[in-house]
Amino acid sequence: MSAAITPAILIKLQTYLRKAFVSQALSVRARPKKSDVAEVFVNDEPLGLITIDDEDGDVTYQFAWTIKEKPQPISLQELLRIQTYLRERLVSKTLAVRGRGKLKDSAEVFVGDDSLALISFSKDSYDFNMAILDIDLDDIV
């Protein structure tokens, strides 16, 4: 049986995301009949899913969100456009999107000096992925 995302973990994940993105608009809710999946909302609008990976006792929560938009070739202008979109969608004025040097198939999402997530450019969408380790939640009460 896979690990469950308990009500206490839901609260910790929500607190973590709100602090990480400096956005009180984010909430994390249980998914009916799916104890190993939670849903992330911005205000009351669904955004993405959090799944749990419990491998050998090391727990990771994966926040994934597909942005249904055809990616454009990577450029400073495209990075700024994605950054503006994410700031508006996550209600977070502090995040920045930066290129990954020679890697042209993805970008990183930062708040300050902290790299929080990766955005991969696929054929028909942008895929936002953020790993949250169980130790990231340890200090949250």
Q: How far is residue 74 CA from its own chain's centroid?
A: 21
Do 71 and 121 form a contact (C-beta atoms < 8 A)?
A: yes
Average pLDDT of the chain? 92
Q: What is the pLDDT of residue 57?
A: 77
pLDDT digits (tens, 9 = 90+) for 22-67: 999 999 999 988 889 999 999 999 999 999 998 777 899 999 999 9
In the prediction, which pLDDT does 70 show? 80
Contact criterion met (CB below 8 Å) for 22 and 94: yes
Distance in angstroms (rounded) separating the CA atoms of residues 66 and 68: 6
User: How far apart are the C-alpha atoms of 67 and 81, rounded to whole Å?
Assistant: 13
For residue 1, is pLDDT > 70? no
Are residues 18 and 24 in contact, defined by beta-carbon separation less than 8 angstroms? yes
135 beta partners? none
| Bridge partner list, 69 | none
What whole-number distance in Å separates Cα of residue 102 and Cα of residue 113?
Answer: 20
Q: Is the pLDDT of residue 87 over 60?
A: yes
What is the per-residue pLDDT for 2?
61
